[in-house]
Amino acid sequence: MSKKIKIIVADDNRNLCQMLQNYLQDQEDLLIVGVANNGLEAWELIQTQEPDLIILDLVMPNLDGLGVLERINTRTTMTRPKIIMLTAFGQESLTHQAMMLGVDYFILKPFDLDILGKRIRSLTQDMPAVPLPQFSSSASPIVSSVGTGLNLNVEVTTMMHQIGIPAHVKGYQYIRDAILMVVEDVSLLGAVTKELYPGIAKKFDTAPSRVERGIRHAIELAWERGHTDTLKRIFGYSMNIERQKPTNSEFIALLADKLRVMSKVS
């Protein structure tokens, strides 16, 4: 049997930590060697456990994710672990700083646990992973070229049908185009209002504000009329779907990431 991948989880959200712990413990090739709820605890675990990979929250008490990264970078005697950083919209400047400090992959909350599992394995097997997202407007955009073995148009249509978005509403087409655009260029996630909405608006000869409202309306319809089991499977891992709907950006980001993973597997 091959060596298990040693993982530390560091996040101040105890429910999220428990969810990650339950998931990782069920994976035969993954081994969780520590859970921390603040940056200082995380740093202690990193030094004692020497993990292969750290799932690290950007914002934590006592010592934030940036502080943990800085300490890892100054420690030359240890083998540098791979870093998956959990981030959220509204943390663009911090995310850019983290990128400069050597994060291997950003994953956006809410996220799919199975996608996280694939990212863990790809990073620790020295396979290339596409970072998500890069927010710095001064940095060159990250472009994700998808494989030709998957019909993305069919897959995104199927996914939206499963979620329960009615095909007759305007937001259906807006979401569909937004997902496909983000699959091709994930840097658009850092410029939703400045580039993504205007790009869709130009195609449909409408205003960016109407695109934003159309997407929001379509998501609201899905939550009102959609299939609860499907919504939980896609969004429920890190979001209480009964209490909150994803933002437009979260919705687009999550589905685009699913398609990117599917295109690599195909």
- What is the residue extent of each domain of the chain? 5-124, 152-265
Task: Note whether 5-124 and 152-265 share their fold.
Answer: no
Closest CA to 119 of 32, 66, 47, 54: 54
* Cα distance between residue 266 and residue 264, in whole Å: 6
In sequence order, which residues have a C-beta less than 8 Å from that of residue 60 and are 6 or more positions away?
10, 11, 12, 37, 38, 39, 42
Q: pTM (2 decimals)?
A: 0.53
The predicted-structure confidence for 68-95, as pLDDT tens digits, reads as follows 999 998 876 778 899 998 887 656 667 7
Pick the CATH number of 5-124 from 3.40.50.410, 3.30.70.360, 3.40.50.2300, 3.60.15.10: 3.40.50.2300
Closest CA to 56 of 118, 119, 114, 7: 7
Measuring CA to CA, how many Å separate 186 from each of 3, 194, 210, 250?
33, 14, 22, 13
Q: Which CATH class is domain 152-265?
A: mainly alpha
Does the pLDDT value for residue 33 go beyond 90? yes
pLDDT recorded at residue 249: 87
The predicted-structure confidence for 39-58, as pLDDT tens digits, reads as follows 999 999 999 999 999 999 98
Closest CA to 45 of 8, 77, 14: 8
